[in-house]
Amino acid sequence: MANNQIRVVLAQTDPVVGDVAGNTRKVIAATQQARQEHDAELVVFPELCLTGYPPEDLLLRPGLLKRVDKALQTLCQQIDDITIIVGHPLGEVGKELFNAASVINKKHITAQYLKQKLPNYGVFDEKRYFIEGREATIIEINQFKIGLTICEDIWFIEPSSQAVDAGAEIIVNLNASPFKQDKTQLREAEVGQRARENNVPVLYVNQIGGQDELVFDGASFAVNAIGEKCVQAIQFATALVPITLHKTEHGIELSGPQQPLMEELETVYQALVCGLRDYVEKNRFPGVVIGLSGGIDSALTMALAVDALGAERVQAVMMPSRYTSQISLDDAAEMATILGVQYRNINIENLFQTFLRELEDVFAGTQPDATEENIQARCRGVLLMAISNKTGAMVLSTGNKSEMAVGYSTLYGDMAGGFSPLKDVYKTLVYKLARYRNSLSAIIPERIISRPPSAELSADQVDQDSLPAYEILDEILEAYIAKDGCFEDLVASGFDAETVAQVIKMVDRSEYKRRQAPPGIRITGRAFGRDRRYPITSGYTVTSTIE
């Protein structure tokens, strides 16, 4: 290629945390493909791509770093007529450990960059492991001077400006940036700002795939020197994104593919599918089992599971009790038939009666309450876990974020499971996602979406007997959980004081349940788990005039 031109490929890969050898093979395969199919001169891989992100306390194991060293040696042996940039940890446990990027060409590491800005908020805790780098790193290919940055560096002025001051004409940014709603727009705005400040193009590569609670959307892109987006990669799929950079009298011009971005509901739905698929695949489960109720949450969970894994890997179990309506039975069976999943109906009435009989002396003189409701849920949990143990299929918990927030769930009952796809999805969004999925093909019976939600654990029960309307509840939860709103501010914003106090108390006293809940996919900026860490035992309570 001419000296006034360079072909760069952004390698949007899906690493497996801890599988250094497997991730190295992916790097080699992607490099070869980029060379053969796109005539690449430089291939850029995501942040910490050799270990996967986030490796968490695996970074405290010297054995991991030895595997990384071996991986770098392997890459040096096999990478010759092309340049690659790969992310990996560098250093020694207990001494100096950096989040680094190595440049490999002609069988040697020719340069290394050490990440300068270490995120230590939300789901990030990089200062637990790494120390900050301080120097710019510039490489030259085809007379193009390229400055390296890693992820959080691009959210600050200094690392890019430092690179440009050292001679960089282009900034390359390696990322492992987790998905959350509206994250794409935030990235583009910040990267565009860095480009305009320094009058240089910026190339942004991001990984894809699920890693426990986190899901990565890819969506790699590139902007020119005035911050205009010139290249856009696909979301939620591996990709090699070829970019041609051309020096002209007006500066460096970029050209490459422009994949359309998804609309909001499609993006969220695909994030859930991707996160679920990778959790099952990377943990080597043969499939999943779901307890159907005839309600919206289990219906959406089953839709996600089939889209992620295929109908042949999904088992659905309806477990009716005396309180289960015929409507629920009919709708659950109809959806299972439409999707073609393996479907069973196991009645729990005899199990329920056995528990009540054995507990008759203990319960003597008391009135039925949530205890009897929870026994039904726990009967179902036992059955699902037995099927899981026997078949190897993982149980999917079907609860949503609204229920998880206020404790409207049963420990060792409907909370039983290995993974909870809707854990960070408010109930109002569950309905929107169900309608979105039906817009693609009608798989969820309309009655499931339109009828009032009910746990069906007592006669004529509906959720609104115990909770505010979900439209109100979710607004209060968003203000209290995501924005750390206090009682007084919520009331001042127009919410009913008694309702606010009720919701806050339910959230606070349910922390012990959330600590025992299965992991689930993070789609918001404040998910339960790594994002939000509150004590179970706490004397900090709501103060209000109605207590």
> Which residues are annotated as catalytic?
47, 115, 151
Q: How far apart are CA 165 and CA 169, in angstroms?
A: 10
| 403 annotated as belonging to a binding site for a ligand | yes
Please give the C-alpha separations between residue 232 and each of 55, 240, 268, in angstroms, as whole numbers.
27, 11, 18
| 398 annotated as belonging to a binding site for a ligand | yes
| 402 annotated as belonging to a binding site for a ligand | no
330: amino acid identity, one letter? D
- In 10 A of CB 458, how many CB atoms? 17
Q: How far apart are CA 393 and CA 387, in angstroms?
A: 8
- State both tokens at 349: 């009435």
- State both tokens at 295: 């309600």
Please work out, in degrees rounded to the nearest 5, the angle formed at the alpha carbon of residue 46 by the alpha carbons of 45 and 47.
130
Q: Is 355 helix (H, G, I), strand (E, B) or coil?
A: helix
What's the burial of 265, exposed, middle or buried (CB within 10 Å: 0-12/13-18/19+)? Answer: middle
| 177 annotated as belonging to a binding site for a ligand | yes
First vs last C-alpha separation in the chain: 75
Phi, psi (deg, nearest 5) at residue 370: -65, -20
| 458 annotated as belonging to a binding site for a ligand | no
| 513 annotated as belonging to a binding site for a ligand | yes
Tell me the three-class secondary structure of 422-433, residue by residue: CCCCCHHHHHHH
| 3 annotated as belonging to a binding site for a ligand | no
CB 377 within 8 A of CB 410: yes
Q: How far apart are CA 65 and CA 150, in angstroms?
A: 19
Q: What does the longest C-alpha to C-alpha distance in the chain come to?
A: 90
| 279 annotated as belonging to a binding site for a ligand | no
Question: Exposed e or buried b for every residue in 90-119, given b needs 16+ CB within 10 A?
Answer: bbeeeeebbbbbbbbbeeeeebbbbbbbbe
The sign of the dihedral angle between the CA atoms of 76, 78, 81, 87 is negative
| 298 annotated as belonging to a binding site for a ligand | yes
Q: How far apart are CA 413 and CA 300, in angstroms?
A: 19
CB 416 within 8 A of CB 516: no
Looking up tokens 């990322």 gives 175
CB 333 within 8 A of CB 318: yes
| 180 annotated as belonging to a binding site for a ligand | no
Determine what percent of the chain falls in helix, strand and coil, rounding each to the nearest 5. Answer: 40, 20, 40
Q: How far apart are CA 173 and CA 237, in angstroms?
A: 19
| 183 annotated as belonging to a binding site for a ligand | yes
Q: Which residues fall in the annotated binding site? A: 121, 177, 183, 291-298, 374, 398, 403, 513
Q: Which residues fall in the annotated binding site for ATP? A: 291-298, 398
Q: Which residues fall in the annotated binding site for deamido-NAD(+)? A: 374, 403, 513
Q: Which residues fall in the annotated binding site for L-glutamine? A: 121, 177, 183
